[in-house]
Chain A
Amino acid sequence: MTTATTTPLTSTLTTDAATSPTGLWQIAWRQLRRNRLAVVCLAILGVYTVVWLYAEGVFWNAHLRGTTPAYKVSHYDVRNQPPSPAHWLGTNFAGRDNFGQVIQGTRIAYEIGLLTSVIVIPLGFVLGALAGYFGRKVDTVIVYLYSVVDSVPSILLIMAIAYVVRGAIDRSPFFQGITRYIDSGLLAVCFGMGFTGWVGLCRLIRAEYLKHRERQYVLAARALGASDASIMFRHILPNVSHLVIINFSLRFPGLILTEAVLSYLGVGVANEPSWGAIINDAKQRLWLGNWWELAGATIAMFFLVLALNLFGDALRDALDPKLRIAEGKTA
């Protein structure tokens, strides 16, 4: 086998390497492919993503037609049924198919991950870049900002923000157009987790910019007359962008777990079956021996969080072998 591949490999190397150098992403992809565990995790993530798209389809199809989606219709004649061929994961207190609920939970989990990142990534990145690049007073102010956020226990701050923001969203007419499509509880949770979660990314990016601004290529760019903004976002950004992706894939599982806790504490997603809401609902029925509601959501959550965690680790090792220390624990 080795002899068969040697000749074409060297020939491609000599021609390819001359025309286009192998990029960071290509090398990382090659390394990921060799890691069997990472490939399995990627496959699991692929399955979840397909389920997510399907769930979005179900949701939007019902929404645009103005009908109640199937997963929200109650069937009181088949309440609290154990798993059977008709209902793989049994039914809940309103006779809704638990499997369908868990699938919609996948949609909520993805929406939370994406919406929160819409807040976290720009906020954390821009603030981190400004602090690291300019240093001095800008740095002092931004470090002060994240120290303040850090000194409140994050779950308390998330709860407080989610609780207050939800009240504000429900009252304001501006949000009414949005809350028809996105649950106001979900938005509030994303606000809460977004405005506390940027700290980790900001620290990471700040440290990188501190390092990069001393590099030769930055000096060269400055000598050529590049502006600060251009150096920050056109020269340094491509060198640190992989950190954003690693940070995202390691933060996502934490968000899913935190959402479950928030649901229990009463500030979670209100009118949609998130995994947290399902688990919280299952709490009372567990005492009646109805284990399937808890089991369904737990298993769905477990495999997504597990795959994301392991894949995030593999991605980090592949993209940046130096960056090994995890950024603290998840909630």
Chain B
Amino acid sequence: MGAYIIRRLLSVIPITLGVLLITFFLFRVIGGNPAYRIAGKNATPARIQQISHERGYDKPFFLNFQNFPRQLFDAQFPRLCGQLAHFDLGESLSTKQRVSTMLRQGFLPSLCVTVPMFVIELVLAITIALLAAYFRDTWLDRSLVIVSVMGMSISALVYIMVGQYWLASEWRLFPVWGFEGPRYLILPVLIGVIAGVGGSVRFYRTVMLDEMYQEYVRTARAKGVSQQTILFRHVLRNAMIPILTNVIIAIPFLYTGALLLENFFGIPGLGRMTVTALFNGDEDVIFADVFIGSILFVIANVVTDIAYTWADPRIRLK
């Protein structure tokens, strides 16, 4: 198992390289020379050239064949990878802060919103899904499904706008904007849960129903096990695998935060930072973001595999 985990963790290298390559391709190759964005609209060609030279934008993209082969890797992409491999995340173009500082400041507010949202939604969704599976094919199940699908048919934007306007501004139940205490988090978390729970219920219900028709359920019923025990002991444990996959894979994305909620409620998290960086052409922030995101993603995948062996002893990692 140890060898398996190490082998899987090594896949972080090709995956991260691929992610950086896509990002690099988007921002440097298609997006053009970033020096134009840095220098502003009224820059002289000399100034552009100066910035390009300082930041290495005048080098070739992938491989440098001047003075072959001594400077082969003195090109934009290899240099970027080298920098990130030393965990040097660079500095923001617009705020001149170190990106590592920005990430450190931003991830806590992001987690304050996404973690409670994630946990509440998960517990709520699994409870409702179990309820629907228990009463399957009755009016209760059918109305739960339809309400869930109705819930996921409304744009998250609308939930936020309606919540912020009526609940916060008109009825004054919550603060409208800001990040100054736990009270400021209630409404964003509430909206996030309502917007997301429908899709989760639908997913978990199908997972549970899939198990409902397995042979071991029939056997359990035949030997006289009660419906409740079948549901909570047998079905829930067997449904663990798809549930775990869904849950653990979502965890690395918690750190990027909830883009919309952070923007609407003025929460200084990573989601907001990333969107701002994208529109300012603040590449270093974007590269750092996708770099860390892809590493977390690979780790989450490995954790999922380990969790499988715990949930289902038949699975062995080789």
In contact, B242 and A325 (Cβ under 8 angstroms): yes
Which of A78-86, A125-133, A143-151, A207-215 lies on the face that meets chain B?
A143-151
Binary contact track B1-28/A, C-beta < 8 Å → 1, others 0: 0000000000100110011001100110
Chain B min CB distance to A62 (Å): 28
Q: Name the B residues within 8 Å of A153 (CB-CB).
A: 253, 256, 293
In contact, A286 and B165 (Cβ under 8 angstroms): yes
Is A119 among interface residues, defined by CB-CB distance under 8 A?
Answer: no
Docked complex Cα distance between A264 and B169 (Å): 20
- Kindly identify, within residues 279 to 302 of chain A, every residue whose CB is under 8 Å from any CB belonging to chain B: 279-280, 282-283, 286-287, 294, 298, 301-302
Which of B44-52, B105-113, B195-203, B304-312 lies on the face that meets chain A?
B195-203
Q: Name the B residues within 8 Å of A231 (CB-CB).
A: none
22 cross-chain CB contacts under 8 A: A145-B18, A153-B253, A160-B23, A160-B27, A161-B26, A167-B31, A253-B153, A261-B259, A264-B157, A265-B275, A276-B155, A282-B161, A283-B161, A287-B169, A301-B155, A302-B150, A309-B149, A310-B149, A313-B149, A325-B210, A329-B200, A330-B199
| A interface residues, tally (CB under 8 Å) | 50
Q: Which B residues are within 8 Å of any A CB, using their own CB? A: 11, 14-15, 18-19, 22-23, 26-27, 30-32, 146, 149-150, 152-158, 161-162, 165, 169, 196, 199-200, 202-203, 206-207, 209-210, 242, 246, 253, 256, 259-260, 263, 274-275, 278-279, 286, 289-290, 293-294, 297-298
Is A165 among interface residues, defined by CB-CB distance under 8 A?
Answer: yes
Docked complex Cα distance between A257 and B259 (Å): 15
Q: Which A residues are within 8 Å of any B CB, using their own CB? A: 144-145, 147-153, 155-157, 159-161, 163-165, 167-168, 253, 257, 260-261, 264-266, 276, 279-280, 282-283, 286-287, 294, 298, 301-303, 305-306, 309-310, 313, 324-326, 328-330
Q: Name the B residues within 8 Å of A155 (CB-CB).
A: 259
Docked complex Cα distance between A194 and B275 (Å): 21
Q: A306-B150, A324-B209, A328-B246 are in contact. Are A148 and B203 (CB under 8 A)?
A: no
Chain A min CB distance to B289 (Å): 8
Q: Name the A residues within 8 Å of B27 (CB-CB).
A: 160, 164
Chain A min CB distance to B200 (Å): 7
In contact, B246 and A164 (Cβ under 8 angstroms): no
Chain B min CB distance to A185 (Å): 14
Chain B min CB distance to A282 (Å): 8
Q: Name the A residues within 8 Å of B157 (CB-CB).
A: 260-261, 264, 276, 279-280
Q: Name the B residues within 8 Å of A276 (CB-CB).
A: 155, 157
Selected contact of B279 from candidates A145, A149, A266, A330, CB within 8 Å: A266
Dominant SS at the A interface?
Answer: helix
In contact, B286 and A261 (Cβ under 8 angstroms): no
Selected contact of B153 from candidates A165, A286, A309, CB within 8 Å: A309
Chain A to chain B: the 5 pairs with minimum beta-carbon distance, closest first: A148-B18, A151-B297, A329-B199, A305-B153, A306-B153
Chain A min CB distance to B120 (Å): 16
Q: Name the B residues within 8 Å of A150 (CB-CB).
A: 297
In contact, A298 and B155 (Cβ under 8 angstroms): yes
Q: Name the B residues within 8 Å of A257 (CB-CB).
A: 155-156
In contact, B155 and A279 (Cβ under 8 angstroms): yes
Chain A min CB distance to B16 (Å): 8
Docked complex Cα distance between A305 and B152 (Å): 9
Q: Name the B residues within 8 Å of A261 (CB-CB).
A: 155-157, 259-260
Which one of A147, A165, A257 has the highest number of Cβ atoms from chain B below 10 Å of its Cβ?
A147
Docked complex Cα distance between A228 and B159 (Å): 50
Q: Which residue of A lies closest to B242 (CB)?
A: A325
Selected contact of B26 from candidates A151, A164, A264, CB within 8 Å: A164
In contact, B30 and A165 (Cβ under 8 angstroms): yes
Selected contact of A152 from candidates B14, B154, B202, B293, CB within 8 Å: B293
Docked complex Cα distance between A93 and B53 (Å): 48
In contact, A151 and B294 (Cβ under 8 angstroms): yes
In contact, A326 and B206 (Cβ under 8 angstroms): yes
In contact, B203 and A326 (Cβ under 8 angstroms): yes
Q: A165-B30, A261-B157 are in contact. Are A147 and B278 (CB under 8 A)?
A: no
